[in-house]
Amino acid sequence: MPERSRGPSRGRARLRRRLVQVSEYVGREGLGPLPLLLLALALACALGAGCDSGPRSDSAPPGAVANAGAPTLANAFRRRGKARLRVGVHTWELSSRVDQDYAAIAQAFEQALGAIGQPSAVDIEPFAVYGELTEALLAGRIDVARLESATYLEVRERGQLPLLALEQPAMATPRRAVVVTAADSAIASLADARGHSFAFGDQRTAVGRYLPQAALREAGVEAEALSRSRYMRRPDKIAAAVRLGEYDLGVLSYALYRREARAGTLRVVATIDDAPQPWVARRGLEPSLLRGLADALQAMDASRSLRSLGIVGFTAPDASVYEPVRAAKRAAAAFGPGTAR
């Protein structure tokens, strides 16, 4: 079964996550001490450090909170012993749209679990780094995760975790790595990368590392042939680094490249196909629950919420589609460390 509900309410937990994300953003962007002070106060309130959590009632005694003990959804879950299904997703954007983007999937999971007599609330847990997402899944801190191809291979090798379904990408947003350079660059192919700098992405992912490094090797370019290279966790930073001339080449997902292409400042050097994104469950979930979750995903159609994720539905599990990515991982292992700086 998913973990029983404990601790702070779902809303307060989500608020804490959002405030932590905002504080990280403020720190990265160097916005000064005042925003950080305000965030510290907000975090204290979210953690229950003496701040009132709602408006006061006219009929309530002084100091009382109007909604204290009220039958909120979170309190009702706790009273009924309702479980929570924790779903981990990766997002590098500071966005309030995470819950909205995954609303249809969360609803499908809730309905499926209710139908098999295991009613659960679904919590969408955002992770900024794939490594943290995979470790949480392997440790059982989340129940289900939306991974990408290389991180799926990693958790499969380390834990043989159940594969629930594969995403079916929309035609407009195929799963693909796109190597880009500045629009006015003389670089025409991957073979021209020799002597130039390269910004890679998350070093545990297919798009960020394994696919472009395997393609560079195939083009005859090893790590030491690059003037310098660097792994960058945020793909928007890669796009900016290439656009501003800090790096000569970089690798993006196709979805991000489409957004960046509108400005006309980047040009495609190469594209490399990736495998579909998998949905994976942790060890120890009951077989009936696994079947319910898998069926819920595979029965979904192209809802608006799915389209916001760049997909039109799900297909049955097929681990063989990840063999090209496995081969790319082997090739990238021989690529060499390069000069990351």
Helical ranges in the chain per DSSP H = 10-29, 33-46, 73-80, 98-101, 103-115, 130-138, 149-159, 211-218, 235-243, 254-261, 287-298, 304-308, 323-333
The average confidence (pLDDT) of the chain is 79
Residues 6 or more apart whose Cβ sits within 8 Å of residue 86: 2, 3, 123, 125, 141, 142, 143, 144
Range 131-157 average pLDDT: 94
Q: How confident is the model at residue 99 (pLDDT cuts 50, 70, 90)?
A: confident
Domains present along the chain, CATH in parentheses: 10-52+74-168+277-319 (3.40.190.10), 176-274 (3.40.190.10)
Nearest to residue 255, comparing CAs of 130, 89, 125, 93?
A: 93
Identity of the residue numbered 150: A
Range 69-73 average pLDDT: 30
Please give the pLDDT value at position 21. Answer: 55
**pLDDT tens across 25-46, in order?**
444 444 444 444 455 555 455 4
pTM of the model: 0.73
In terms of C-beta density within 10 A (0-12 exposed, 13-18 middle, 19 or more buried), how is residue 117 classed? exposed
39-43 long-range contacts, Cβ below 8 Å, gap at least 24?
43/16, 43/19
Helix (H, G, I), strand (E, B) or coil at 283: coil
Bridge-based pairing state of the strands 278-281 and 249-253: unpaired
Dihedral in degrees, nearest 10, Cα atoms 241, 132, 285, 165: 10
Please give the pLDDT value at position 78. Answer: 40
**pLDDT tens across 173-212, in order?**
678 899 999 999 999 999 999 999 999 999 999 999 999 9
